[in-house]
Amino acid sequence: MRTFIAALSFVASALAYTVSQPSASQGWTTVGPNTVVWSRVNTDALNFTILLVNQDTSILPSKSEVLSAFVDGSAGQLTVSPPSGGFPIGTGFQVNLVQDPQHLTTIYAQSSQFEIKASPANASSSVPLVTQSTVST
Ligand SMILES: *[C@@H]1O[C@H](CO)[C@@H](O)[C@H](O)[C@H]1NC(C)=O
Ligand SMILES: *[C@@H]1O[C@H](CO)[C@@H](O)[C@H](O)[C@H]1NC(C)=O
């Protein structure tokens, strides 16, 4: 049984590109750094284009934004720059690795759904006020 499972997962991982980040447990923020991590096998295309997608047009009106074109597939990871207008906020995002900007529907791999959160408040604004005790002598 154990051998069977191992063989199955080997077949799955040998198929093509897989995206391990971002993921449901490791999402992005509006300030970043936002990183895409993938694995590649020899039969995969040499490069791909990273697409940010969300089916909810109230979150992403265009439904998809190219984050980076012609990424070197052997790099294994890339910190993406925000699209024009910055990273949107919301849930239900996915990162798709697609063939190139002219073939956005030729999908090599897809991340799991993840969330993009607003940037955390500035550290300086979250310093708690120290209440000083009045010294009366
Ligand atoms: C991307 O890879 C394809 C083959 O998979 C190749 O024809 C093309 O020249 C590459 N483009 C860049 C910009 O590396
Ligand atoms: C956080 O700090 C930066 C630079 O100091 C500033 O431009 C930005 O407006 C601040 N954001 C908030 C939410 O205070």
Nearest ligand for residue 120 CA = 2
For residue 130, what are its two tokens? 């120290």
Per-residue pLDDT tens over the stretch 32-89: 999 999 999 999 999 999 999 999 999 999 999 999 999 999 999 999 999 888 999 9
3-state SS of the chain: helix, strand, coil percent to 5? 15, 40, 45
- The CATH code of the domain at 17-117 is 2.60.40
> What is the DSSP secondary structure assignment for residue 102, as one 8-state letter?
T
- At 92, the amino acid letter reads G
What is the pTM for the complete model shown?
0.74
CA distances from residue 22 to 19, 32, 103, 129 in whole angstroms, order as listed: 8, 12, 22, 36
Domain locations in the chain as residue ranges:
17-117
Distance 43 CA to ligand 1 centre (A): 14
Using the predicted structure, report yes or no on whether residue 16 has a pLDDT greater than 90: no
Ligand 2 atom with minimal separation from the 121 CA:
13
- For the Cβ of 69 lying below 6 angstroms from any atom of ligand 1, the answer is no
